[in-house]
Structure 1
């Protein structure tokens, strides 16, 4: 064995031996996580639900001067404990956040028991993996340029019709779930009609769809429904409801009466 290989083996063994151990339930949950933990999808919901109440942007409720909603603040030296940092990307041992979510000490554990919030084993595992992988913060998904993702392989290839199915089936397989049997045509038309227009299909529309044996029969129904004025009405309902409901900030709501013909001008 060469000297270089020996050093590599010893160094690797030392690295793993120094890695902090995880509670059994957290380790089990950790082993079930996807290969990559995404901030907006997996991490931010946990921080928002369980951490931001005490360590978010609201200074009035902020504790220990710690903010976890901003990367620079989370990585910075803790104001009340110089030399320590809440998150050190890539290092569990140096990250106070890791120590606080893993400990059983009621005086140290986070979230604070007085908040009546707790982290599940899965949530702890997600935060652990996120820190290990570099604790990368990302802006809101709406400001992130879309990227083309590699289409995942799935075991149930017979149910794949288009690439979107690969992503859906892949997630179901991760959760040990499977697709339900495909609904018959009448039910499919009823579902898409209610979803897009809020109205059930007529008998004539159902009969026409059942008679259509073309490969794109369903797609033609979707196009028909989206061309209907009822589709616009269905999509506008939520916005009209929001406009007619008083906004909690105190801004007066828009009264629907102003939308009547002749009410404006």
Structure 2
């Protein structure tokens, strides 16, 4: 068995209906894990889970609003019931709303704080409660939070998004310290994905052009490539493979870490 073989592991991926989350769910399933997709997008989430089952995976969907404490409790209960436990939690759900600081809308800021910071915090809370000794799963495990290269660079138009993703970085490190101190047996790490041409990534390029920061969405994407030593945008598989690594025994002595998966953009 290779060190990144996840056979027998049970995983929950938030925001797993599409984009990076769907790719992460697929990669975890391909590595052998049973996977539950948690999302507010029920139709898309069920289709993604069905596609994974048709490919031979043990995959399910549960409704999950990451900003709601009760929704988290129910989603974890249904996850452990469907796949027999919980060993891996990927806190991927997030939103990005572009704005110049001079024009920011407090409602947009609150929305990003609720989904990105509160949503991830509640995920860590319920992941700990399920995985720690005496919990519904109770065998320890791994939590992987999804931050962003935006937490490590200064890129115009995404100040408040960057702030929320920086918060996820700090949350990750404190959570890892608490888990170790209290004997939970749960490793907590995060990744910093680079810009990836998903629905969210493409919309960011459009937004930056509409804000007058670049002459076109293509120019915005080219600017990102120009800042990236590897000379390309990220791909979903790049991010998904990093999640599998951090969830696996290949990373068994790694906790409280942030892994850049950005082609060198944030170095």
TM-score range, shorter chain: under 0.3
Higher-Rg member (1/2): 1
Q: Which has the higher strand share?
A: 2
Task: Considering Cα pairs closer than 8 Å and 6+ residues apart, tell me whether 1 or 2 has the greater RCO.
Answer: 2
Q: What is the TM-score of this pair, normalised by structure 1?
A: 0.24
Q: What is the TM-score of this pair, normalised by structure 2?
A: 0.24
